[in-house]
Amino acid sequence: MKRYLTMLAAVFCMLQVAQASEPIKAYQNGTWAQLSKTSLGEPIAVHFWGVTCAPCMAEMPQWGKFLSQNKQYKVAFVQVDDVPPEMVQKMLMRAKLQNANNFSVFQPFDDAMRYQVDPKWHGETPITILIDKNGQWQRKTGPIQFTALKTWFLKQQ
């Protein structure tokens, strides 16, 4: 009986992981241009974070809560640490963001990739780039204020 219960628990866990997440897209040279161009006419928040960033780890569940309450807003998450995909997936699941619009680097996030986003950005995380419906953007360094983010989205309507 114990063996049966163990097998049943293992199958349940595998099914939960299999159905619980969208694939993480590769973030590479040129991805920023695609993300920022596809947002024209519709505002988007692009949040850069890292698995090894303590403030990011604390903030990600708040992003999950924000999106669960505001499904109409367009947000993309870009994980920038050079870590195994399993670590990224685990963090996204913990934050309930496994079905969000997720990107991750699968190579070091170098100066050239940062420069494509903002030449003045030195790579600190978390950082959120808010791109309005006209393509104008602003950078928010550090944890985001979610009431201010919601207000920003509302002003874009």
Question: Is residue 98 in some structural domain?
Answer: yes
Query: pTM of this prediction?
Result: 0.84
The model's pLDDT over 27-56, given as tens digits with 9 standing for 90+, comes to 998 899 988 887 678 999 999 999 999 999
Q: What's the CATH number where 42 sits?
A: 3.40.30.10
Question: Is residue 82 in some structural domain?
Answer: yes
Task: Count structural domains, the chain.
Answer: 1
Question: Is residue 88 in some structural domain?
Answer: yes
> Strand, coil or helix: what is 77?
strand
Instruction: Give me the domain span that covers residue 30.
Output: 22-155
64 contacts: CB under 8 Å, gap ≥ 6: 95, 96, 97, 100
The model's pLDDT over 123-135, given as tens digits with 9 standing for 90+, comes to 999 999 999 988 8
For residue 4, how many other CB atoms are within 10 A of its CB? 8
